Each structure stands twice: as structure tokens, then as C-alpha cells.
Amino acid sequence: MSNKKPLSKRTIYTIFLAKFLFSLTLIFWTIKMTLGAGVGLDDDNTFMSTYHNVDDNYNKIVLNNNKFEKLYSAHLIINGKDIGQLTYDDIYLSQRNIKKRTTRKNILKLNENKVVLVINDKKTNQIVDDVNATIVFTMPSSHSYDKTLNILNTKKDYIVNIGKISYWNIMGSINVNGNMGHFYIKTNAK
């Protein structure tokens, strides 16, 4: 038989207190690191609005988009590539889908990108010159690289500088004669 002595009360309480303080330190460290990472400070700006506003008015946004698509055909051309009809269907896709798909992939390039917005009136088949469009190029993980284009004339070419190779979201709102349309495109820069 072994003659092991049980731990004294003082040793047990010291171990308990050390474990408790260590756990408390880890909790505070986790909170400090989380706050330092800016979690919760980088709000989603889908449709260039707060998520509260989008949530409250989503049906209205969809109806306005449907009305806009009946009246106008909007195309975004970046670096000579026509992205196609502008929709918000990509909002339902994860960023990983970009790797698998062949359309709307590698649209952006590092540094200078030439952007042209073409809007046709579906009744007259004429190009609409007078528009009020805002296009935001943003990374899904951070808004620190956001680039915003304000387009008032479709006859002009615009330049946007992309500063990082990553996944990018291109979202915008187009206002033509009081009719508002929105689009959301997921792509990447290489």
C-alpha cells in the first residue's frame, strides 16, 4: 500500500483560485481581442442601406426592381466585359460559388478598371443618357477598401482603382426618371 497524503485544504483552495483567475483572464482577453478586431463595427451595406432598412423594405425593393427591369435594360461593362443584365440574384450565393462558376468571374483586375454603364429604354430601344447611379465596389470582409462611383451620364467612361486581390461585391442603385433599380454582383479581382 502506498502512503499518499491527501491534499491540504490550503492547496485545494489555491488550485481552485488559480484556475478561476486563469479562466477570468481568458474571458477578458477574448473580449479585448474581439473589440480590437472591430467585430460589429463593419455593418453590412447591401443595397447601400442599413440592414434594418433593407429588412423593413425588402418587398418594396423587389417590386421597384421588377418595375425597373420592365422599363429598362441595364448593363455594366467592366474592362470590356459585359456583365449582363444587372440583377440582385448573386446576393443568395456564397463567395465560394465564384470559384466554381464561369460567368461573372475575374471581372476586376488589380489597379485601374474601366467601368461603363449602359441603360436602354425597352420601349424606344434608345440609350438613356440621364441617369443617377451609384455603384459601390466593396470587399465582403471589410469596408476599408470601398470604392464608390457616382454616375450621372452613361456616355462617359469611369475608372475605379482596386487595391487588393480578393473577393469583391459590386452593388449599385440606378435611378432613371424616378424608377429605382438595384443590383448585386459577386466577383473577384486578380
Read off the pLDDT of residues 16-64 as tens digits, 9 standing for 90 and up: 999 999 999 999 999 888 887 765 555 566 666 777 777 788 888 889 9
Residue type, 40: G
pLDDT reading at 95 higher than 80: no
pLDDT for position 43? 59
Fill in the DSSP letter of residue 182.
E
Q: Where are the domains of the chain?
A: 8-41, 46-188
pLDDT for position 1? 56
For residue 35, what are the β-bridge partners?
Answer: none
- Grid cell listed for 44: 453590412
pLDDT for position 94? 72
Neighbours of 166 (CB within 10 A): 17
For the stretch 135-183, pLDDT in tens is 999 888 777 888 899 998 777 889 999 988 888 888 889 999 999 998 8
Return d(Cα 175, Cα 2) in angstroms, integer.
86
pLDDT for position 3? 77
Return d(Cα 102, Cα 173) in angstroms, integer.
25
Q: pTM score, two decimals?
A: 0.73
Neighbours of 37 (CB within 10 A): 10
- Which CATH number is associated with domain 46-188? 2.60.40.10
Q: Which of 36-40, 82-86, 154-158, 185-189 has the lowest mean pLDDT?
A: 36-40
